[in-house]
């Protein structure tokens, strides 16, 4: 039996490419999986599709950039579950534009969804983890938080900030049986990336030493490992899963 069997896992933004793979992998390991969404129609169809495949996922509407919304979400989850054992902060968005043309709204939207959300969501569930003496918090960052990217000052700043959050919270919670880690994916073959024109994708792949895009399942495997008992001595780490494109 998996050491994750019976654990409750919350994956924010779980209906997207990487989030979907994470939800599926944690479900296969025996977790009770909950995910947040913003688009009800899409989320309900996603839930039905997984139900047909034998996976029972719970979905809950939440704007992770809004603290009050996260409080409400947590109240609903904790009414049905004693605690959240595993938290994967995966939700986020992009508003790409060169800095000179970036608007305050583009900046604040990304910082809110990609960085403020870590505080908003994690703050709800750490007390339960401390009380139970167990917790796994994994923050999904990006290769661009490590190396920067033209047109992404907002996104790169948020994703870089994620790991500062990780390292600090890891120090505060290590003695409580809680680990906090970051995963920084490179270019992954999600629907969004595959929609990029082929000639541009080929240029991206040419910069990746393993000469291919990553698979969402490979990010999910890294998440599952960091959640496991085998990874109990790993905390405050930033795991790059990028095919060797950036070696920091």
pLDDT digits (tens, 9 = 90+) for 71-95: 999 999 999 999 999 999 999 999 9
Confidence of residue 191 (pLDDT cuts 50, 70, 90): confident
Cα separation of the two ends of the chain: 36
Measured from the Cβ of residue 181, the count of other Cβ atoms closer than 10 Å reads 24
Q: Which 3-state string (H, E, C) describes the chain?
A: CCCCCCCEEEECCCCCHHHHHHHHHHHHCCCEEEEEECCHHHHHHHHHHHHHCCCCCEEEECCCCCHHHHHHHHHHHHHHCCCCCEEEECCCCCCCCCHHHCCHHHHHHHHHHHHHHHHHHHHHHHHHHHHHCCEEEEEECCHHHHHCCCCCHHHHHHHHHHHHHHHHHHHHHHHHCEEEEEEEECCECCHHHHCCCHHHHHHHHHCCCCCCCECHHHHHHHHHHHHCHHHCCCCCCEEEECCCCCCC
Query: Which has more confidence, 175 or 194?
Result: 175
State the pLDDT at residue 193. 85
Q: How far is CA 87 from CA 48, 191, 212, 227, in A?
A: 23, 24, 29, 9
Stretch 213-219: mean pLDDT = 97
Can you read off the two tokens belonging to residue 201? Answer: 């994708």
What is the rounded CA–CA span in Å between residue 153 and residue 212? 26
Q: Is the CB of residue 137 less than 8 Å from the CB of residue 169?
A: yes
Instruction: Provide CB contacts within 8 A for 27, sequence distance 6+.
Output: 33, 55, 57
Q: pLDDT (tens digit, 9 = 90+) per residue, 93-138? A: 999 999 999 999 999 999 999 999 999 999 999 999 999 999 999 9
More confident residue, 239 or 248: 239
Q: Tell me, what's the pLDDT at 196?
A: 82
| Average pLDDT, integer, range 188-216 | 92
pLDDT-based confidence at 2, cuts 50/70/90? confident
Average pLDDT along the chain: 96
pLDDT at 1: 60
Q: What local confidence, expressed as pLDDT, does residue 180 receive?
A: 98
The alpha carbon dihedral of 14, 18, 22, 23 has a sign of: positive
For the record, the structure tokens of 144 come out as 């661009």
% of the chain with per-residue pLDDT over 90? 94
The 10s digit of each residue's pLDDT in 30-64 is: 999 999 998 999 999 999 999 999 999 999 999 99
- Has 155 been annotated as catalytic? yes
- 186 is written with which tokens? 């490179």
Which entry of 37, 67, 155, 187 is annotated as an active-site residue? 155
Domains, in order of start, for the chain: 8-237 (3.40.50.720)
Report residue 200 as tokens.
């541009």
* Those residues with Cβ within 8 angstroms of residue 187's Cβ, 6 or more apart along the chain or in another chain: 143, 193, 204, 205, 208, 213, 214, 242, 243, 245
Locate 246 and state its tokens: 């950036």
Predicted confidence (pLDDT) at residue 195 exceeds the cutoff of 90: no
Tokens 């007390």, residue?
127
Q: How far apart are CA 199 and CA 215, in angstroms?
A: 19
pLDDT for 177: 97
Confidence of residue 235 (pLDDT cuts 50, 70, 90): very high
Q: What is the mean pLDDT of residues 225-240?
A: 98
């Amino acid at each position: 039996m998996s050491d994750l069997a019976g654990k409750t896992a919350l994956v924010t933004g779980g209906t997207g490419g990487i989030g979907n793979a994470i939800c599926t992998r944690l479900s296969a390991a025996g977790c009770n999986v909950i995910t947040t969404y913003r688009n009800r129609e899409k989320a309900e169809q996603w839930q039905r599709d997984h139900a047909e495949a034998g996976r029972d996922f719970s979905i809950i509407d939440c704007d992770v950039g809004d603290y009050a919304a996260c409080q409400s979400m947590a109240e609903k989850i904790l009414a049905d579950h004693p605690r959240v054992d595993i938290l994967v902060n995966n939700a986020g968005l992009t508003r790409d534009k060169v800095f000179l043309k970036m608007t305050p709204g583009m900046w604040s939207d990304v910082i809110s969804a990609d960085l403020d959300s870590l505080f908003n969501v994690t703050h709800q569930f750490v007390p339960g983890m401390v009380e139970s003496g167990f917790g796994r918090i994994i923050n999904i960052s990006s290769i661009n938080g490590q190396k920067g990217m033209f047109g992404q000052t907002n996104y790169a700043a948020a994703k870089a900030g994620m790991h500062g959050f990780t390292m600090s919270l890891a120090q505060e919670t290590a003695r409580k049986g809680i680990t906090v880690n970051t995963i920084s994916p490179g270019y992954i073959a999600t629907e969004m990336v595959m929609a990029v024109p082929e000639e541009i994708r080929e240029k991206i792949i040419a910069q990746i030493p393993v000469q291919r895009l990553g698979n969402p399942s490979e990010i999910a495997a890294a998440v599952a490992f960091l959640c496991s008992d085998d990874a109990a001595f790993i905390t405050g780490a930033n795991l790059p899963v990028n095919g060797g494109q950036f070696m920091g």
